[in-house]
Chain A
């Protein structure tokens, strides 16, 4: 009974918290890194599609701003969750972390820049930052594909 209860509590904890357990192996850590990159791509691409629509006059500033704030927050959460996972003691895991972490950092900074530019109605800044972010998105996509589970 105690064992069953423990399993249920652990499962409920994972479910309710939406949190991630420490990676038990190098392959699991790699899968986690791949999923993190995919989740980051989703937020970055959302921001890019929205910014593009805004610059083409297809979206209002309020809608863009809301999407950018949500994307920025979601990416921050994705990044924090990945960082909270204890990497296994393997050089490959450290290499993964050293590659993905800066990409997430760059994406987060660019999203912040986009949000600031949107709130200040600076279309030129939006264009420039979106161009930079496109490059980061492509790198994240490549990373996600390379480390897909």
Chain B
């Protein structure tokens, strides 16, 4: 019974932890402009993250080592450093967006300018990373993130034409008033939001933190194959709400407040409070994950002691990197750069960095020296290879499309 409960809890936290500021903004923005005609990009992204998260979780369970440690060993320090640099920059940008997202969510609850919350949020993130047990923070923020299910309830309450929504998903068509380049720019944004690199680092490093062994591979797979797709459904519900309430009025999402607007229209004040709780939990949880991921990536590459399963004194360099990342993220938001714009850029740059993240994982998971009998099978290799092609296309097209469309304008 304990094991079943543990698996169930893992799935719930995977659902609640799936959505972050990138998913919130990208899905609401796209829903308000394109309806559900770009749902295919989210669906492909969810399948992709499942494929590579399963691989990285399996690698962590079999080897008991972090991703960057293995990448450096398997592909050499130069490739490892390139991978580290790209991943770190994207993760820092995402971390900045998440810190800004928490502050924006608090502003919605209080109407106090978000910039005043930023130092407090930074301090809170650092304190939680420093003091709270890994399993506690993962469970608490994952479960609180489930508050975003309110978007699913709101969509149901709005009583849309389900046939029309399903038709938009099944037979995607670019809206007449949008051009092709913009359509595909946002497809890449959604794909990047679903496949954010830090999610894989955090998932695999978390496996090491929780001392996964080969017997835990089943649990990890359940988290990934059930939790992530259900998290993806939350993303679609956010897009659906925007498509039903905002699109007909010509409202294009450029603030977090607009993301929650359909919930207020459909369900009222209490549900809106639940949505704000979901915003705070999703962004704060993701801020912790991205903050930790900067420390994980750097410490694993350089071979330092890392993780929350040892005392901070024993992993001083890891915690120093995390602290510096917190300071950088807080400083980034305090420049008054719009956190929503930072989010939009972070998910597009995530798409650019995807091959550097996922190619090495495929290589390591396919190496029998590390993986023994748990090496990739034909299905994992086939899907991994197909997705590397998709990721490569997205990475190459992202920046040109950003320039052509003036970042989707």
A-side residues, CB < 8 A to B, are 11, 14-15, 18, 35, 38-39, 41-42, 45-46, 48-50, 53, 57-63, 65-67, 69-70, 74, 141, 144, 148
B111 touches A61 (CB 8 A): yes
Interface majority SS on B: helix, strand, loop or mixed? helix
Binds A, one of B12-20, B261-269, B310-318, B325-333: B261-269
Cβ of B252: which chain A residues have Cβ within 8 Å of it? 38-39, 42
B-side residues, CB < 8 A to A, are 107-111, 177, 245-246, 249-252, 254-255, 257-258, 260-261, 264-265, 267-269, 272-273, 276, 341, 402-403, 406-407, 409
When chains A and B are docked, how far (Å) is the Cα of A63 from the Cα of B271? 13
The CA-CA distance from A14 to B255 in the complex, in Å, is: 21
Contact B108 A42 (CB under 8 A): no
Contacts of A62 in B (CB 8 A): 108-111
Residue in B closest to A64 when the chains form the complex, CB atoms:
B111
Bound-state CA distance A18–B254 (Å) is: 14
Give the CA-CA distance A37 to B267 in the complex, in Å.
30
Q: A49-B261, A62-B111 are in contact. Are A70 and B268 (CB under 8 A)?
A: no
Bound complex: CA of A115 vs CA of B341, how far in Å? 24
Please measure, in the bound complex, the distance between the C-alpha atom of A29 and the C-alpha atom of B177, giving whole angstroms.
18
Which residues in B have their C-beta under 8 angstroms from that of A141? 250
Query: Are A58 and B269 touching (Cβ within 8 A)?
Result: yes
Q: Which 7 A-B pairs have the closest CB atoms?
A: A62-B111, A58-B268, A45-B249, A65-B111, A59-B264, A67-B257, A42-B252
* Residues in chain A near residue B110, CB distance under 8 A: 62
| Known contacts A60-B272, A67-B261, A15 near B406 by CB under 8 Å | yes
Query: A126: shortest Cβ distance to chain B, in Å?
Result: 15
Bound-state CA distance A13–B226 (Å) is 44
Which A residue's beta carbon lies closest to that of B33? A42
Known A11-B403, A61-B111, A63-B272; contact A50-B261, beta-carbon cutoff 8 A: yes
Q: How far is the CA of A130 from the CA of B45 in the complex (A)?
A: 41
Q: What are 9 of the A-B contact pairs (CB < 8 Å)?
A: A35-B409, A49-B246, A57-B269, A59-B272, A63-B109, A63-B272, A63-B276, A66-B111, A148-B177
- Known contacts A18-B407, A58-B268, A63-B264; 16 additional CB pairs below 8 A are A11-B403, A15-B406, A35-B409, A38-B252, A42-B252, A53-B265, A58-B264, A58-B269, A60-B272, A60-B273, A61-B111, A62-B109, A63-B257, A65-B111, A66-B257, A141-B250
Q: How far is it, in angstroms, between the C-alpha of A50 and the C-alpha of B252 when the chains are bound?
A: 14
Chain B, residue nearest A35 (CB): B409
Whole-angstrom distance between the alpha carbons of A39 and B250 in the complex?
9
Known contacts: A15-B406, A59-B272. The answer to whether A38 contacts B257 by CB under 8 A is: no
Q: In the complex, how many angstroms separate the beta carbon of B178 from the nearest chain A beta carbon?
A: 11
A54–B85 CA distance with the chains assembled, in angstroms = 47
A148 to B178, CA, bound (A): 11
**Docked-complex contact B108 and A63, CB < 8 angstroms:** yes
B379 to chain A minimum Cβ distance, whole angstroms, is 40
Tell me, in angstroms, the Cα distance from A53 to B265 when the chains sit together.
Answer: 6
Interface centre among B252, B257, B260 (most CB of A within 10 A): B257
Q: Which residue of A lies closest to B114 (CB)?
A: A66
Q: Is the CB of B109 within 8 A of A67?
A: no
**A87 CB, nearest partner CB in chain B, Å:** 20
Residue ID in chain B nearest A11 by CB atoms: B403
Q: Tell me which of B108, B254, B264, B407 contacts A66 (CB under 8 A).
A: B108
Interchain CB contact under 8 A, B249 and A53:
no
Query: What residues of chain B lie closer than 8 Å to A63, measured between beta carbons?
Result: 108-109, 111, 257, 260, 264, 272, 276
Closest CB of chain B to A58's CB: distance in Å? 4
B268 contact set on A, CB distance < 8 A: 57-59
Contacts of B255 in A (CB 8 A): 67, 70, 74
Q: How far is the CB of A34 from chain B (nearest CB, A)?
A: 10
Establish whether residues B251 and A53, one from each chain, have CB atoms under 8 Å apart when the complex forms: no
Residues of chain A contacted by B407 (CB below 8 angstroms): 15, 18
Q: How far is the CB of A78 from chain B (nearest CB, A)?
A: 11
Tell me the minimal C-beta distance from A98 to chain B in angstroms.
23
Q: Which residues of A contact B272 (CB under 8 A)?
A: 58-60, 63
Residues of B within 8 A of A60 (CB): 269, 272-273
A38 neighbours in B (Cβ, 8 Å) = 250, 252
B-chain residues with CB within 8 Å of residue A70 when the two chains form the complex: 255, 257
Pick the residue among A15, A45, A66 that contacts B251 (CB under 8 A).
A45
Residues of A within 8 A of B406 (CB): 14-15, 18
CB distance from B262 to the nearest CB of A (A): 9
| A42, B251: Cβ atoms closer than 8 Å | yes
Least Cβ distance of A112 to chain B in Å? 16
Complex: A71 Cα to B266 Cα, angstroms: 21
Chain B nearest CB, measured from A33 CB (Å) = 15
Q: Is the CB of A53 within 8 A of B250?
A: no
